Chains A and B, each alone.
Chain A
């Protein structure tokens, strides 16, 4: 177990390191960060001074070495725009994003898993067909359009909910619904097919034959055995919800990590972009590790090998 954890943590470090290197390369490929950041009418000597101060005049391998060295100590430099430590800025935005992501993840699971189970148990009934229509539509509707239409109906027309911002639970309603819609559709479809697979197994027939009530057959024998694919996707989605929050945060002016990242990209504020990639990829790989540990708990046949 300890060997497994150590090897996974080493892999996490490797994945984060490769992600950061990829961002470094992309940032350098996208043009001269100094010129992109400066106003049009700046003088050449100022550009050069700025460049010298930020170390952009040094050879590229040296810049990369310095970047890696700084990253290892958690130092991603100062934001070019706010003149503050980039990692601090990013971490300051993290709680808002985590709140939104956690709410919509809970909403996703709370709606999608029961819907999927009910559709599978009552296969080919009206309920199942209604569920299919809902999931197919949910998967096809882009979040940013759903968000705009919800704002139009509930904020502009009915005036029930705020158009954006943060502070009260009412602010959380539309962003979490928009973020949850797509993922809930996917989870519901997967749950339905996973439960159907298990219902065809012989041990379910046995459980019914020995006279167990339907609630016990579904609740104990079926759910636990169909949990593995659902947990896998739920974990992947926890990561994607963090990343997908970018658009939802933009629509609803939610002061989270995603909005900060998009603005930093538009402003070419690369230290923030890099710090944000760091935080997101660390969170994501840690979630994946947690999922793999959960497998072993759900299904004792799974052996964790380093």
Chain B
């Protein structure tokens, strides 16, 4: 069962990445090109495997290009939050005392917020900060860190050379587990009308447009949502596998 999950995760993630990279070759249509003569064609229509939307744009091309945007946003937010939250956690774990207290109160403020009001990168740092701080607290007690400190290594160098490499696996695991929630959150925000604006093909805004046509064209909502679900599924399974391999005790 676990092998199956791991392979499914790797396969799905690889497929989504490949689809995003090869989008222009997989569908010859321009995701923005409208064709009113061919609007609201059902899936299987000639030349449009997934059908067309209310403006006659090819749905396959839009879903594929949506994958590019989703992955781009996922990677950017994960990098920003991992670097920001990780740095805060490193400092809080190393210095202890008041920075830790400030950090935990900030985390409370953050958690008591309705998520929608926050932009994505503002929301993700807390988990990294907490996990990294916990790891640093234990790593800095280990003998090799104590030894390096006794040899007169500076605190900054100690932190970067000896502590950081030892907390890196947890950061990677957290990043992979957060990736899909970022993609879904971005889609939710676009769905509500705050995020990526039409006509850019984003899964969230496509779903929101598809909602208005639910009575006549189910495929407009079904396919972007299915793409989103499969991506989230693949990345989640990949994250579980990474955790089991790199850091089985980690609880996020």
Contacts and interface: CB of A to CB of B under 8 A. Distances in A.
A is bound by B: yes
Interface in A89-119: none
B184 interface: yes
Contacts of B1: 124, 129, 132
A236 B108 CA distance: 11
B214 A145 contact: no
A149 interface: yes
A151 B222 CA distance: 12
A141 interface: yes
Contact of B232 (A19, A23, A140): A140
Interface in B193-252: 193-194, 207, 210-211, 214-215, 218, 221-222, 225-226, 228-230, 232-233, 236-237
Interface of A: 11, 14-16, 18-19, 22-23, 26, 124, 129, 132, 136-137, 139-145, 148-149, 151-152, 156, 236, 239-240, 242-244, 246-247, 250-251, 258, 261-262, 265-266, 273, 276-277, 280-281, 284-285
Contacts of A246: 114, 116, 192
Contacts of A240: 115
A280 B105 contact: no
A48 to B, nearest CB: 29
A15 B236 contact: no
Given A15-B109, A22-B113, A148-B221, 19 more contacts: A139-B232, A140-B180, A140-B233, A141-B232, A144-B207, A145-B226, A149-B225, A152-B222, A156-B215, A242-B114, A243-B115, A247-B192, A265-B116, A265-B117, A266-B193, A266-B194, A276-B114, A277-B117, A280-B114
Given A23-B117, A277-B117, A148 B236 contact: no
B109 A22 contact: yes
A15 B188 CA distance: 26
19 contacts: A11-B105, A15-B112, A18-B105, A19-B109, A129-B1, A136-B233, A142-B232, A144-B187, A148-B210, A149-B222, A152-B218, A152-B221, A156-B214, A236-B111, A261-B114, A262-B116, A262-B192, A277-B117, A285-B108
Interface of B: 1, 5, 105-106, 108-109, 111-117, 180, 184, 187-188, 191-194, 207, 210-211, 214-215, 218, 221-222, 225-226, 228-230, 232-233, 236-237
Nearest to B218: A152
Contact of A145 (B109, B116, B221): B221
Given A148-B211, A261-B114, A137 B188 contact: no
Which 7 pairs, one residue from A and one from B, show the smallest C-beta to C-beta distance? A145-B225, A140-B233, A281-B112, A140-B232, A243-B114, A284-B112, A18-B109
Contacts of A250: 191-192
Nearest to A16: B112
A290 to B, nearest CB: 14
Given A261-B114, A277-B113, A15 B105 contact: yes
A132 B117 CA distance: 33
B112 A14 contact: no
B194 A265 contact: yes
A141 B229 contact: yes
A191 to B, nearest CB: 14
B105 A149 contact: no
Contacts of A145: 207, 221, 225-226, 228-229
A212 B58 CA distance: 65
A243 to B, nearest CB: 4
A23 B207 CA distance: 29
Contacts of A26: 117
Contacts of A141: 229, 232
B232 A285 contact: no
Contacts of B210: 148
A70 B155 CA distance: 47
A33 to B, nearest CB: 15
B113 A14 contact: no
A261 B188 CA distance: 15
B221 A136 contact: no
Contacts of B188: 142-144, 247
B233 A137 contact: yes
Given A156-B214, A284-B112, A149 B192 contact: no
